Chain A
Amino acid sequence: MNDWSLLIFTIAIQAAIGSIWMLWMFQFKHKKKTDQEIFQLFKVPLIVIAALSIIGLGASFSHLGTPSNAFNTIRNIGSSWMSREILVTGMFIGIVVVACAWALYRQRISPWLLFGAGLIGLVDVYCMAAIYTNSLVGPWNSIYTFMSFYGTTFILGSVLAGALLTPVLYKQKKDLEAKQFLNIAFIIMLSGVALQVIGVALFPTSMQEINMIGETVETAILASYKGMIASRWIISIVGIALFGYLTISTFKKLYTRLMILTLLLFVMSEGLSRYVFYLLGS
């Protein structure tokens, strides 16, 4: 597997896109809160999301052999999905960084910047998936790629936003708000998992003929990574169970640690899933 940089890039950017949507949803639901209250809640999450986007950008640059020619990558918007994706990812990261800088400078959040970043982010996930579905690598040329990428966006976005916002809400004794947000995050996370499960179910129906001379049949590749695929789903199930427990439990003592553990479990399961994805093309 030589695509570690792409694995980090796709996971980081998709998590950032999902969590931007979660933040936007939170402020939309709590319009009565003052600008200062929202700013205090969103300050750290926005810094983390901006940092995550920049880590993603750095990873994408480390994939390039000649990063000094990076500006050339948007020359073929007319026919290359990679050109389109690079342009849209650049716009997403730009808006997130501006939203973060704006918030820190003005001490208030701009919902429009969050909404704009989220919307461009969803287009970005489509472009990211289209890069792979438009290549000649057979296993990628399937609806599974779209389902998997949007699934990761929903899963990591909701769990990351949950881990960043709810411990602060509990600390401020806003238990009801924390619970409500956690419930929404849990449902969105489950929708992401459902998308991925449907994608996996549809995967065998969209198997392609061999399009590349050195390509191996996908079932043969998958067969050699049975253990890894099983671990990915077991970790996901443990993560779902832990997240589910946190949404109903009233046990607060270890809440922050358990929420971070939930996040780590999902980062691990999505990382393993993406690892297998890149193996299919290597």
Chain B
Amino acid sequence: MTQVGFFIDVTKCIGCKTCVISCKDKNDLEVGRNFRRVYSFETGEFPNPRLAHLSISCNHCDKPKCMENCPTTAIYKRKEDGVVLIDHDKCVGCKYCEWNCPYEAPQYSEELGRMTKCDTCIDLRENGEEPVCVTSCPMRAIEFGPIDELRKKHGTNSDIWGLPSSTITKPNLVIKK
């Protein structure tokens, strides 16, 4: 299995949220449901304040707590590429995965009565395209691909101030800070 993941370049991100909007548009998400979100963290003090923007979706973790604690086994890791998906035939809409994801990835759909989340734009990828957040980013701050390749290219860091520790779920995420 080739595990896939995301690379986020915090030094490039300007917090424009184009990735959020393109994801909402592609997945037809109503107000309040966002598979990708941008969090802004303020650190430091005058005269050295710092503002960092971090674009986050599901990190398709090696140890997904949402999957471990899902009572229905609806959440599973796809064998081919380790993408974490939700089987809607099993999901009961209990929202317990919301309390078990450090990244707020599972999002409840009132219309479906079930949980939904980032699926790495599987349909686009099957046509040889990239996830829409990657192609829409004007700063080219997001990359997607086999996590081994991303780590070889950008290093292995997946922690940044403001983000919960990567030891909790072992996210397939590389962050340049």
Residues of A within 8 A of B (CB): 63-67, 69-70, 72-76, 79-83, 86, 131-132, 134-137, 209-214, 281
Which residue on chain A has the smallest CB distance to residue B72?
A72
Q: Is the CB of B68 within 8 A of A212?
A: no
Assuming A65-B113, A213-B103, is B93 touching A76 (CB within 8 A)?
Answer: no
Check if A76 sits within 8 Å of B164, measured CB to CB. Answer: no
Q: Which residue numbers of B lie inside 8 Å of A, CB to CB?
A: 39, 56, 65, 68-74, 89-96, 99-104, 108-110, 112-115, 162-165, 168
A-B contact pairs, 28 of them (CB 8 A): A64-B93, A65-B93, A69-B72, A69-B89, A69-B91, A69-B93, A70-B92, A72-B74, A72-B90, A73-B71, A73-B94, A75-B71, A76-B69, A80-B68, A81-B69, A82-B96, A86-B71, A135-B100, A136-B100, A136-B101, A136-B164, A209-B165, A211-B165, A212-B102, A213-B102, A213-B103, A213-B104, A213-B162
Given A76-B71, A76-B72, A212-B103, 9 further pairs, Cβ under 8 A: A64-B113, A65-B91, A65-B110, A66-B93, A66-B113, A67-B92, A69-B89, A136-B65, A211-B165
Please classify the interface of chain B as helix (H, G, I), strand (E, B), loop, or mixed, using the class held by over half of its residues. Answer: loop
Question: In the complex, what residue of chain A is closest to B93 when comparing beta carbons?
Answer: A65
- Specify which of B99, B108, B165 is in contact with A281 (CB 8 Å cutoff): B99
The residues of A that contact B69 with a CB separation of less than 8 Å are 76, 79-82, 134-135
Q: How far is the CB of A85 from chain B (nearest CB, A)?
A: 8
Main SS class of interface, A: loop
Residues of A contacting B70 in the complex (Cβ-Cβ under 8 angstroms): 76, 80
CB pair B68 A82 closer than 8 Å: no
* B114 contact set on A, CB distance < 8 A: 65-66
In the assembled complex, which residues on chain B have CB atoms less than 8 Å from the CB atom of A81?
69
* A80, B102: Cα distance in complex, Å: 17
Q: How far is the CA of A69 from the CA of B73 in the complex (A)?
A: 12
Closest A residue to B89 by beta carbon equals A69
Chain A residues with CB under 8 A of B68: 79-80
Least Cβ distance of B126 to chain A in Å? Answer: 27
